[in-house]
Chain A
Amino acid sequence: MTSAIDQPLGFWRSYVFSQDHKVVGIQYALTALVFLLIGFTLVMIMRWQLAHPGLPVPVVGAWLGARAPQGIILPEFYNALTAMHGTIMVFLGIVPLAVGGFGNYLVPLQIGAPDMAFPKLNLASYWWYLAGGVLMIASFFLPGGAPQSGWTSYPPLAIINQGGQTWWLAGMLCLVTSSLLGSVNFITTIVQLRTAGLTFSRLPFFVWSQLVTSFLLLLAFPPLEGAAIFQLMDRLAGTSFFLPSGLVVSGRVLHNAGGGNPLLWQHLFWFLAHPEVYVLILPAMGIVAEIIAANTRKPLFGYRALVHSSLAIGFMSLIVWAHHMFITGMGTTMSSFFQTTTILISIPSVVILTCLFLSLWGASIRFTTPMLFALAFLPMFGIGGLTGLPLGLAPTGLHLHDTYYVVAHFHYIVAPGTIFALFAGLYHWFPKVTGRRMNDALGWLHFWGTFVCMNLIFMPMFFQGLAGMNRRLYDGGLQYALDKNVVGLHLLISRAAWVMGIFQLLFVVNFFWSAWRGRRAEENPWEATTLEWASASPPTRGNFASPPIAYRGPYEYSVPGAQLDFTPQFAQDEM
């Protein structure tokens, strides 16, 4: 990069094809928020079918066309909704927001760098992501409709399905490329571009979480790329990587070479998709840690334990994948190994959660809007994590497999868990990004509405799952006698989901109103200590007037003897 800082760039290079990490971060964040809204809309339609099976969908039913004649959702369309909800939320919503959005915007600022190490790769990374997202969404408009084999795309179903599975795979290859470019960029940036004085032991925990996340994306995504290539070959070139011999489809024997192994896909898929769970949660933990430190006005409890635990999670997450496959008959030896590693990985997760809880001890807490979300993250992630233990143990996992219990468990981790952390981050860094504060009254309403609805949605699912309700039923379990005591909960869950949708409108209004009309924010509105608060709000191109120097660790709050209750990393003397 040799372009002079004062040289003005045109509209296209400033806002569309920008190499500035801040613009790329905002592009990622806005696109991901739109995808999150799309994914949530799909599930709100789906919830209608579960609450009122066979009745026409109100409001949007007329727009669904042939997928829902007279507004009544067809089973194929219901399957497409579930598959695309999962895909969109994980691959197009949360990860791009947590890593592409927050990571891109904040990592260079928090390490005092002028930009990412490879700005052009950063630009390319966003456009690969957008291309992948558009390909996947476009599959809704294909003759066969969107993919119908779940976000996991298990063969043989995914291969014999007529729908847009090929587009899903092509989109996935774009997303893998995007995350490859991103993760190479993040790791290089964090290792190489730390400013003077910013040793690894002085890195904010958020940066550590992004570093571990990037390694997971770098090393775990390529096996899924390989698997996607195999599945594309199966669909397009007629190979049989995942198709066993003598497969019978609709009463007819399939004429393929055979000899393939459907379990191979599951191994390759979960080799990515389990680390992916930690890709979803680690940046969330990083965000929550920053917000807790700034709003408790004291140093994070156990910074070193947090860092070591996140590294341990990173390594361990690569050897737990087959706990998703206890029921496949891969054998008790395999199950024992993966159940052991799965129980072990809960230790560093608990260490992190405990450190964050203990950080609250004796603190003078500021109950700001971001802090509300960050505080709610702790018990919500706790519920999600602890209810995961029975799934990690093979004997109980076999019974709970594919019930609503599983849905409740992982949604407690990603919805009131990660998404709360992401909302917390949006409220917390909004003043830095826009130079204006978000409205606290709307934020307070948004928080409590979302918090109550989230629990009304996912808590009943534990009971449904424990009662044995299967999670893939088009009619929500009406046809089964064993579900009759819990099937009524669908109505409560669905209504809570729609009410939660209304509460999200408060956020949308707050977001856009505050961006233009909000109260102005100074450089460091939260009186926080990390380096991003040394830059202007919003930061100019190149981020800092001169490279900042880190004189101390990231969380020097309430230092004894100091005048103020915070001493930023960039302050030479105690304030």
Chain B
Amino acid sequence: MEIPYTIDRRTDTGLYNAQLGMWLFIASEVMLFGALFSGYALLRTGADAWPVGSRHLSVVLGSINTFVLIASSIVIGLAVRSLRRGQWRRGRRELAITCVLGLVFLAIKAYEYREHMLARELPSTDNFFAVYYTLTGLHALHVIGGLIVLAYLVGPGASMWRRQPVRFVHRAAGVSIYWQFVDLVWILVFVTVYLL
């Protein structure tokens, strides 16, 4: 039994299954982060006083992380392009670089968390830090999720390239859409939590 349109596009919709599925998943993620950001906006507008993010968080580290993630977005885009052109070794290398950049992001994030915790700036301190930890923590979980899938594609999942190259490209393209979304969320977090 074969599920139709796993690899080929359906002519009247112009889509293959995973493509539609990934966009639907992103729609759901938009609603999740949308709810969290709305909660943040409501708490902040309702508060008597709200700390300015740039005085409590490290804008330098946040900026570096923003550049790291934007770079990783570009690299994963290049990886998908390479794979579409059939350049396996190059594409795989670019996927691996994306992984490394993701790890760098997490390492910097972990360092930031450590500094705050040593300074006794905890989620329970005030609602500013509650929002900070919740938003960045959930975002970091999304990065970790993306890294697991990327590591799978570079490692054990790579054998699919030989059997079903088109399907492998579909997978890489799907992760790429997700990764761009995670990047976009970070930019919003950076602007609204770190800078404003």
Residues on A lying within 8 angstroms of B by beta carbon are 1-5, 113-119, 180, 183-185, 187-188, 191-193, 218-223, 225-227, 229-230, 233, 237-241, 256-257, 259-261, 264, 267-268, 271, 541-542
The majority secondary structure among interface residues of chain B is: helix
- Report B107-129 CB contacts with A as 1/0, cut-off 8 Å: 00000000000000011111100
Q: 13 more A-B contacts (CB under 8 A) besides A185-B21, A193-B17, A261-B46?
A: A2-B2, A183-B24, A183-B28, A184-B21, A188-B21, A191-B15, A192-B20, A193-B5, A226-B39, A227-B35, A229-B36, A237-B122, A237-B124
Q: Are the CB atoms of B20 and A191 closer together than 8 Å?
A: yes
**Contact among B2, B25, B130 for A1, CB-based, below 8 A:** B2
List 29 A–B pairs whose Cβ atoms lie within 8 Å, in order of A's numbering.
Answer: A114-B2, A116-B3, A118-B17, A180-B25, A185-B21, A187-B24, A188-B20, A191-B13, A192-B10, A192-B20, A193-B5, A218-B28, A220-B31, A221-B28, A222-B28, A222-B32, A225-B35, A229-B36, A229-B138, A230-B36, A233-B123, A233-B130, A256-B124, A257-B125, A259-B43, A259-B126, A260-B43, A264-B43, A542-B1
Q: Which residues of B contact A185 (CB under 8 A)?
A: 21
Known contacts: A3-B1, A261-B46. The answer to whether A184 contacts B28 by CB under 8 A is yes
- Report B132-169 CB contacts with A as 1/0, cut-off 8 Å: 01100010000000000000000000000000000000
Residues on B lying within 8 angstroms of A by beta carbon are 1-6, 10, 13, 15-17, 20-21, 24-25, 27-29, 31-36, 38-39, 42-43, 46-48, 122-127, 130, 133-134, 138
Quote the shortest CB–CB distance from B12 to chain A (angstroms). 9
Quote the shortest CB–CB distance from A293 to chain B (angstroms). 26
Quote the shortest CB–CB distance from A261 to chain B (angstroms). 6
Q: Are the CB atoms of B35 and A541 closer together than 8 Å?
A: no
Q: Which residues of A contact B35 (CB under 8 A)?
A: 222-223, 225-227, 268, 271
CA distance A227 to B35 in the complex (A): 8
Q: Are the CB atoms of A223 and B2 closer together than 8 Å?
A: no
- 3 smallest CB-CB distances across A and B, nearest first, come from A238-B124, A223-B35, A226-B35
Known contacts: A233-B123, A237-B124, A239-B134. The answer to whether A264 contacts B39 by CB under 8 A is yes
Q: Are the CB atoms of B3 and A193 closer together than 8 Å?
A: yes
Q: Are the CB atoms of A192 and B13 closer together than 8 Å?
A: yes
Nearest residue, chain B, Cβ from A542: B1
Quote the shortest CB–CB distance from B34 to chain A (angstroms). 7
Q: Which residues of A contact B10 (CB under 8 A)?
A: 192
Residue among B4, B25, B29 having the largest count of chain A Cβ atoms under 10 Å? B4
Q: Which residues of B contact A542 (CB under 8 A)?
A: 1
Q: Are the CB atoms of B134 and A229 closer together than 8 Å?
A: yes
CA distance A264 to B28 in the complex (A): 20
Q: Are the CB atoms of B39 and A241 closer together than 8 Å?
A: yes
Q: Which residues of A contact B122 (CB under 8 A)?
A: 237-238
CA distance A226 to B36 in the complex (A): 6
CA distance A4 to B2 in the complex (A): 8
CA distance A191 to B16 in the complex (A): 10
Q: Are the CB atoms of A192 and B24 closer together than 8 Å?
A: no
Q: Which residues of B contact A264 (CB under 8 A)?
A: 39, 42-43
CA distance A117 to B5 in the complex (A): 9
Nearest residue, chain A, Cβ from B25: A184
**Contact among B20, B34, B127 for A241, CB-based, below 8 A:** B127
**Contact among B3, B36, B126 for A117, CB-based, below 8 A:** B3
Known contacts: A2-B2, A229-B134, A238-B122. The answer to whether A219 contacts B127 by CB under 8 A is no
CA distance A218 to B133 in the complex (A): 26
Q: Are the CB atoms of B39 and A192 closer together than 8 Å?
A: no
**Contact among A115, A257, A267 for B1, CB-based, below 8 A:** A115
Nearest residue, chain A, Cβ from B125: A257
Quote the shortest CB–CB distance from A21 to chain B (angstroms). 11
CA distance A117 to B35 in the complex (A): 29
Nearest residue, chain B, Cβ from A121: B21
Residue among B1, B25, B46, B47 having the largest count of chain A Cβ atoms under 10 Å? B1
Q: Which residues of A contact B34 (CB under 8 A)?
A: 222-223
Residue among B36, B39, B46, B48 having the largest count of chain A Cβ atoms under 10 Å? B39
CA distance A240 to B21 in the complex (A): 36
Q: Are the CB atoms of B130 and A239 closer together than 8 Å?
A: yes
Known contacts: A115-B1, A188-B24. The answer to whether A239 contacts B124 by CB under 8 A is yes
Known contacts: A256-B124, A257-B127. The answer to whether A222 contacts B3 by CB under 8 A is no
Q: Which residues of A contact B31 (CB under 8 A)?
A: 218-220, 222-223
Q: Are the CB atoms of A192 and B43 closer together than 8 Å?
A: no
Quote the shortest CB–CB distance from B168 to chain A (angstroms). 14
CA distance A218 to B143 in the complex (A): 21
Q: Which residues of B contact A257 (CB under 8 A)?
A: 124-127, 130
